[in-house]
């Protein structure tokens, strides 16, 4: 059976757990060479080691705080050397805090907007420098249904994810002529973050048309990430790709 990502060089941020770890494992299983990036070093190294053992692809681990330009640039430069190039960036690193809109503090905003929005921009810029030279590349960023519809309590998170989706449309237009495509993935998937918010927002998740539940990261989410990174999606750019069981419907 032909592997869909054989020989692809891929960076995945937020790779230590949740959707990031699932994506790393799926990419390695499809023959990709992957650089896993996170700040949770022990978990990140474990994911890289286990995915490499599973193979046939190979995974290395790199530490970087996505809000810090110097750390991002250093980690991406090292990853590109390790990989021998860069075909795909998957920027999954993200956080969430729930508060009434009037009560978000400066620290809340720095944390949520810094990781979700600034981190997206910095990682995308770092990847672009290599992809531009190659004349091709794929950028997969992460939006949210919270950035598309009102979800009380998630104002800062919603603002960050709305910004990510707007940014992604812009780079799809700007970088497309250079052979780089960019899409936003909108997931509703079981992760440590969604588990923490399930008590407050369980009524939202129970309304998901496909089974009234969050998706499984391995069965429902990872195969879509494989497709979007593959040549099969070569004519898809500037889109919001919802993997959410119908929680929100984009048009």
CATH of the domain at 71: 3.40.50.720
Nearest CA to 44 out of 71, 23, 29 is that of 23
> What contacts 174, CB < 8 A, 6 or more positions away?
none
The residue that leads in pLDDT, 58 or 244, is 58
Which pLDDT value is given to residue 195? Answer: 66
The whole-model pTM stands at: 0.94
> Quick check: is 4 in a domain?
no
Mean pLDDT over residues 220-237, rounded? 98
Does residue 198 surpass a pLDDT of 60? Answer: no
> Quick check: is 74 in a domain?
yes
Distance CA 122, CA 73 (A): 8
CB 61 within 8 A of CB 20: no
- E strand or H helix at 133: helix 119-134
Does residue 248 surpass a pLDDT of 90? Answer: no
Does residue 199 surpass a pLDDT of 70? Answer: no
Which pLDDT value is given to residue 206? Answer: 83
pLDDT band at 152 (very low <50, low <70, confident <90, very high): very high
Distance CA 17, CA 189 (A): 13
Share above pLDDT 70 across residues of the chain, in percent, rounded to a whole number: 96
CA distances from 85 to 55, 59, 136, 212 (A): 20, 14, 11, 41
> Quick check: is 39 in a domain?
yes
Distance CA 76, CA 119 (A): 13
Query: Residue 45 CA to chain centroid, in angstroms?
Result: 18
> Quick check: is 2 in a domain?
no
pLDDT band at 201 (very low <50, low <70, confident <90, very high): low
Q: Where are the beta strands (DSSP E) in 49-103?
A: 58-63, 88-91
* Active centre residues (catalytic): 157
Q: How big is the CA angle at 109 (ends 127 and 76), to the nearest 5 degrees? A: 15
CB 23 within 8 A of CB 90: yes
Mean pLDDT over residues 138-162, rounded? 96
pLDDT in tens, 16-45: 999 999 999 999 999 999 999 999 999 999
Mean pLDDT of the chain: 94
Nearest CA to 5 out of 46, 59, 60, 47 is that of 59
- When divided into structural domains, the chain yields a total of 1
> Quick check: is 249 in a domain?
no
Mean pLDDT over residues 92-115, rounded? 97
Which pLDDT value is given to residue 138? Answer: 98
> Quick check: is 86 in a domain?
yes
> Quick check: is 158 in a domain?
yes
> Quick check: is 26 in a domain?
yes
- E strand or H helix at 225: helix 222-229
Mean pLDDT over residues 148-173, rounded? 97
Mean pLDDT over residues 193-204, rounded? 62
Distance CA 13, CA 216 (A): 20
Query: Residue 84 CA to chain centroid, in angstroms?
Result: 22
CB 19 within 8 A of CB 41: no
Does residue 163 surpass a pLDDT of 70? Answer: yes
Tell me which residue range forms the domain holding 159: 9-243
- E strand or H helix at 46: helix 41-54
pLDDT in tens, 210-224: 988 999 999 999 999
CA distances from 81 to 50, 72, 215 (A): 22, 14, 35
Which pLDDT value is given to residue 32? Answer: 98
Mean pLDDT over residues 95-107, rounded? 97
């Amino acid at each position: 059976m032909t592997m869909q990502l054989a020989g692809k060089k891929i960076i995945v941020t937020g790779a230590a757990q949740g959707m990031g770890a699932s994506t790393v494992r799926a990419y390695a299983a499809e023959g990709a060479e992957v650089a896993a990036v996170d700040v949770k070093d022990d978990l990140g190294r474990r994911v890289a080691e286990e995915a490499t053992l599973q193979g046939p692809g190979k995974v290395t681990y790199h530490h970087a705080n996505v809000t810090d330009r110097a750390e991002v640039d250093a980690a991406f430069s090292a990853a590109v050397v390790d990989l021998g190039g860069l075909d795909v960036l998957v920027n999954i690193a993200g956080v969430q805090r729930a508060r009434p809109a009037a009560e978000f503090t400066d620290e809340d905003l720095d944390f949520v907007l810094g990781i979700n929005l600034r981190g997206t921009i910095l990682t995308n810029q770092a990847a672009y420098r290599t992809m531009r030279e190659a004349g091709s590349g794929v950028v997969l960023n992460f939006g949210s249904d919270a950035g598309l519809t009102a979800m009380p309590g998630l104002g800062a998170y919603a603002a960050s994810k709305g910004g990510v989706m707007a940014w992604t449309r812009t780079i799809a237009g700007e970088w497309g002529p250079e052979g780089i495509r960019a899409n936003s993935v909108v997931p509703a998937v079981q992760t440590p973050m969604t588990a923490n918010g399930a008590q407050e927002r369980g009524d939202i998740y129970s309304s998901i048309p496909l089974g009234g539940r969050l998706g499984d990261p391995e069965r429902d989410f990872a195969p879509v990430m494989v497709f979007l990174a593959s040549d099969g999606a070569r004519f898809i750019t500037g889109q919001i790709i919802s993997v959410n069981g119908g929680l929100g419907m984009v048009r």
